[in-house]
Amino acid sequence: MARQVQYSPGEQRALKLLTGKPQDTNLLCDKFYKPDGGPPYYGRQIVLGLMNSLIRKSKHNGEKFIVKKSKRAGPWPITFWREDRK
């Protein structure tokens, strides 16, 4: 079995935000940066990269959940959600 990959502090924080219903990158960005006073200029792109990394690491680690996302649709936000693995 492959070695478990650790989640970064940012990925752990983002994973806690993914409870409940699907959320888009704008909403995740606002929630992620709210304690720090607001998102930076490129905050949405930063959160998108963070979520993509979280998807890769959760697949590699074989977690009990799957992080999924909607397809890219130009300038429209991408939606992320978490499902239990079957």
Overall fold of domain 9-84: Arc Repressor Mutant, subunit A (1.10.10)
pTM of the model: 0.86
pLDDT tens digits, 54-74? 999 999 999 999 999 999 999
* C-alpha separations of 64 from 28, 79, 84 in Å: 22, 20, 6
pLDDT of residue 1: 58
Query: Crossing angle for the helix pair 9-17 and 43-61, nearest 10 degrees?
Result: 90
pLDDT of residue 2: 75
pLDDT of residue 64: 93
Q: Which residues of the chain register pLDDT less than 70?
A: 1
